Amino acid sequence: MTAHTDIDLVVFDILGTLVDEPGGVREAIGEAAPDGSDADRLVDRWFDHVETEQQKIVDGLRPFVNGDILNHEAAQIVAAEGGFDGEDAIERLATSQRRLAPWLDTVDSLARLSQHFPVVGLSNASRETLIRLSAYAGLRWHYLLSAEEARSYKPAPEVYRLAFDLAGVGPERILMVAAHAWDLRGAQAAGFRTAFVQRPVGDAPTEDDGFDYRGESLAEVVDQIALR
């Protein structure tokens, strides 16, 4: 297999793209909540809080706090609305990102690609969560980057800048892989090439999105990036 020579670095979103984040949060809520019938609403409540607070930070409306703090806030909200309490239950829910299952093709596809390119994770999750999650899910990296290092969150341009500062090459030689069209639009605005991978969760492209690669699985995207 011969790799494309116009790509020097492949950067991956992690949550949702490589691991099942909503499924992991839903499982943690189901373990803690006395009545699992409201789990879908509580999952939505979790993500609504985290995404809203991240956007406030990007917009300068809230001082930076890392993803672990936002997850703790979300866990406390979900516990209050779900009718459960106890420090242990809330802590386990708050740290559920550290125990997310990889999608079935993630580990093998990441390993295949890493034989041809440096592979880097770039996530809104905290440094500590990324390290623990990567160990749990079997994700092997050449390097891990957390938005915590930029004191902001994707899609803020300073987060993507972490990748080309690391690579020492122009952004046009970096490929960003994600299951979230909003993330890829942010990467495009930073000058990156882009690859959309379809997942059961994520943010689908619109007709106006012009990503360089698209695949119904990560394995399919890897096949497109590396020429047989």
- pLDDT tier, 1 (very low <50, low <70, confident <90, very high otherwise): very low
pLDDT at residue 46 is higher than 50: yes
Residues 106 and 194 in one domain: yes
pLDDT at 5: 66
pLDDT at 31: 87
Residues 93 and 178 in one domain: no
Residues 7 and 49 in one domain: no
Residues 14 and 26 in one domain: no
Widest distance between CA atoms in the chain: 55
Of the residues 80, 99, 118, the one at which a domain ends: 99
Q: How far apart are CA 42 and CA 100, in angstroms?
A: 17
pLDDT at residue 228 is higher than 50: no
Tell me the percentage of the chain whose pLDDT exceeds 90: 84
Q: How far apart are CA 18 and CA 144, in angstroms?
A: 14
Q: Tell me the per-residue pLDDT of 148-158, one tens digit each, with 9 for 90 and over.
A: 999 999 999 99
pLDDT at 6: 86
Residues 159 and 50 in one domain: no
Of the residues 99, 126, 160, the one at which a domain ends: 99
Assign 74 to helix, strand or coil: helix
Q: Whole domain around residue 84: which residue ranges?
A: 21-99
Residues 128 and 33 in one domain: no
Residues 33 and 134 in one domain: no
DSSP type of residue 145: E
Taking residues 205-212, report their average pLDDT.
95
Taking residues 197-225, report their average pLDDT.
94
Residues 142 and 162 in one domain: yes
- Within 8 A by CB and 6+ apart from 164, the residues are 170, 171, 174, 190, 191
Q: What is the CATH number of the domain that holds 129?
A: 3.40.50.1000
Hey, which residues does 122 pair with through a beta bridge? Answer: 145
Q: Tell me the per-residue pLDDT of 75-112, one tens digit each, with 9 for 90 and over.
A: 999 999 988 888 898 999 999 999 999 999 999 999 99
Residues 34 and 117 in one domain: no
Q: What is the CATH number of the domain that holds 57?
A: 1.10.150
Residues 88 and 145 in one domain: no
Using alpha carbons, select from 96, 99, 152, 93 the residue that is nearest to residue 124. 152
Of the residues 63, 84, 99, the one at which a domain ends: 99
Residues 201 and 95 in one domain: no
Q: Tell me the per-residue pLDDT of 111-155, one tens digit each, with 9 for 90 and over.
A: 999 999 999 999 999 999 999 999 999 999 999 999 999 999 999
Using alpha carbons, select from 8, 200, 202 the residue that is nearest to residue 104. 200
Residues 174 and 192 in one domain: yes
| Beta strand spans in 83-208 (E) | 119-123, 143-146, 174-178, 193-197
pLDDT at 4: 53
pLDDT at 36: 61
Q: How many domains does the chain have?
A: 2
